Amino acid sequence: GDSVTQMEGPVTLSEEAFLTINCTYTATGYPSLFWYVQYPGEGLQLLLKATKADDKGSNKGFEATYRKETTSFHLEKGSVQVSDSAVYFCALYKAAGNKLTFGGGTRVLVKP
Amino acid sequence: EPEVTQTPSHQVTQMGQEVILRCVPISNHLYFYWYRQILGQKVEFLVSFYNNEISEKSEIFDDQFSVERPDGSNFTLKIRSTKLEDSAMYFCASSPPGINTGELFFGEGSRLTVL
């Protein structure tokens, strides 16, 4: 079945450091790919998405590119802030079934 | 900004008891979902609901679970006889009408602790 694998955390960074969170997926067909973020005490919220190969999703300084050849969707941010401290979830979606399949989540802690 | 709200935020129950978790989806949304996350594990799909019936469910969603939209605003998850392994954070989500895109709006979650 479909699955998503992402790097385990926690990832601890200093402010203004570069962040990368690796995500790879296994799926048949052509899924859409997502990053959701969960800030402390809040629900998951959509960060960015890409719906087809080579698409780049971006939001709030974060970027991820849909790489079909490597089945990856790595999340990057060039300069993190303390407010980026959260748990980040990579996910794939297929319209047939209408459900998200999530990775295990990566906790990121940014220190001042 | 409209949001999905869930109650209770935390419930502690004894094994074998019935639990109802409540959700108020965003008002013009038509698709509703429950996901759960056991501590330290992945967020897992439980069930999706559309047009007053279940559209998809996972193997986790066995006969102990049921969902209902009893009125125009609430969407509930009932666990008939809780087990220790039902302890988890349960997330409700909804998505708007139109072509499904995977963009879900999640509530803050209800933490269930089964003793």
Looking at the partner chain, which of B44, B100, B106 has a beta carbon nearest the beta carbon of A98? B100
Taking the CA atoms of chain B, what radius of gyration do you get in angstroms?
Answer: 13
- Mean pLDDT across the stretch A81-98? 91
Q: What CA–CA distance (Å, rounded) separates B32 from B96?
A: 9
Give residue A111's pLDDT.
96
Give the gap in angstroms from C-alpha A51 to the nearest C-alpha of chain B. 9
Q: How many CB pairs under 8 A join A and B?
A: 58
Give the gap in angstroms from C-alpha A78 to the nearest C-alpha of chain B. 25
Contact (CB<8Å) B45/A101: yes
E strands of A1-112, at which residues? 3-6, 11-14, 19-21, 23-26, 32-38, 44-50, 56-59, 62-65, 75-77, 86-94, 99-102, 106-111
Are A92 and A4 in contact by the 8 Å Cβ rule? The answer is yes
B22 pLDDT above the threshold of 90: yes
pLDDT band at B42 (very low <50, low <70, confident <90, very high): confident
Condensed to tens digits (0 to 9), the pLDDT of residues A38-66 reads: 998 888 999 999 999 999 999 999 999 99
* Chain B residues touching A49 at Cβ < 8 A: 101-103
Can you say whether the dihedral through the CA atoms of A84, B111, B41, B47 is positive or negative?
negative
Residue whose tokens read 């989540």: A105
Looking at the partner chain, which of B56, B107, B108 has a beta carbon nearest the beta carbon of A99? B56
- SS3 letters for chain B? CCCCEEECCEEEECCCCCEEEEEECCCCCCEEEEEEECCCCCEEEEEEEECCEEEEECCCCCCCEEEECCCCCCEEEEECCCCHHHCEEEEEEEECCCCCCCCCEECCCEEEEEC
Contact (CB<8Å) A32/B101: yes
Question: CA of A40: which chain B residue's CA is closest?
Answer: B108
Q: What CA–CA distance (Å, rounded) separates A23 from A50?
A: 13
Give residue B57's pLDDT.
93
The two structure tokens encoding residue A21: 């969170």
The two structure tokens encoding residue B88: 């988890």
B1 pLDDT above the threshold of 80: no
B98 pLDDT above the threshold of 80: no
